[in-house]
Amino acid sequence: MNYTLNQLQIFLKIVQTQSVTKASEELHLTQPAVSIQLKNFQDQFDIPLTEVVGRKIYITDFGREIAEAAENIINQVHAINYKTHAYKGQLSGRLKISVVSTGKYVMPFFLADFMNQHQAIELVMDVTNKHKVIESLEQNQVDFALVSILPTTLHVEKLDLLQNKLFLVGNAQAKVPARTKADEIFKELPLIFREKGSGTRQTMESFLESNHISVQKKMELTSNEAVKQAVLAGLGYSIMPLIGIRNELHSHQLQIIPIKGLPIITTWSLIWLKGKKHSPVSAAFLHHLEEEKDNIAHDTFRWYEQY
């Protein structure tokens, strides 16, 4: 046996994602590079680790046992690195955070100073939709989650970081007469939704339901960036978080459509399972945010106040 740590990491990621393509994306490697390393790793075993049926890869029972062993080895390597840093008096370990997709415009600014102060810390931040964020929190796979709508099915504690404002948005060419009722806007152009499981979609649907608005035409896209590009192209309107459209508003590519009942205001909150025992790293990060969150919000998001 002459497998490498790199091969173990690649194989484990393939098992976790059930896909060579997805594994290559998450590892920031080319697909051929991942395929070559997988083949080199498999060639060292007499029993198959994977099976390919059609175009889909399946992990054998033996492969799953090897993946479990690989994960243990990788964790031990991390532990050695952390002990080395600790011996030097440095705060070290992993900080794992799951962030709803629009939160990618928020969370990095609340992380930057802390990560710069403690460079031995390894950050793992997953950006996905609300459903998957809550799932990872429920399974205790992460230290914290960033959401704009609190889960109703979990007992959590929270630290509020920033307001989240959502406006009806159209492109620069959109012409909506003043005092046009919301239900009239959507008779001609579709309303563009995020996918099911998205917090933004949940907020939109609550607004439509409470205002008795029936949407005759709708589109569904799977990322905030895709929604923004569709609005820019004139395909319709969407109710979007202000945090993700700052540049387009300043360059007059997008415009806010005044509608009664908007903006919708929620709060970006860092949440964690109630009663969770924080690691030294996550406890230090929480303490940092409690001390600095107001300064970060004021210094970085001052532009928010004009809307």
Reading the block at residue 176, the tokens are: 């909506």
The structural domains of the chain, ordered by start, are 5-85 (1.10.10.10), 91-162+267-306 (3.40.190.10), 165-265 (3.40.190.10)
Residues near 76 by Cβ (< 8 Å), separated by ≥ 6? none
Residue closest to 128 by CA, chosen among 225, 194, 192, 198: 198
Encoding tokens for residue 185? Answer: 């806007």
**pLDDT score recorded for residue 116:** 93
**Are the C-beta atoms of residues 148 and 102 closer than 8 Å to each other?**
yes
88 Cβ neighbours under 8 A, 6+ residues apart = none
Across-strand partners of 156?
273
The predicted structure's pLDDT at residue 188: 67
Q: What is the pLDDT of residue 191?
A: 86
| Residues of the chain under the 70 pLDDT cut | 81-90, 177-180, 182-183, 186, 188-189
- What does the DSSP assignment read for 136-172? HHHTT--SEEEESS--SSS-EEEEEEEEEEEEEEEET
pLDDT digits (tens, 9 = 90+) for 222-249: 888 899 999 999 888 899 999 999 999 9
Residues 6+ apart with CB under 8 A from 20: 14, 31, 34, 35, 38, 57
Q: 271 is written with which tokens?
A: 């949440």
Q: Identify the pLDDT of residue 233.
A: 92
Residue 287: alpha-carbon gap to chain centroid: 23
Question: In b/e form, how buried is each residue of 103-117, taking b as 16+ CB within 10 angstroms?
Answer: bbbbbeebbeebeee
- Residues 6+ positions from 182 with CB-CB distance below 8 Å: 168, 211, 213, 259, 260, 261
Q: What is the CA radius of gyration of the chain?
A: 23
Residue 122, pLDDT score: 87
The Cα–Cα gap between 141 and 154 comes to 14
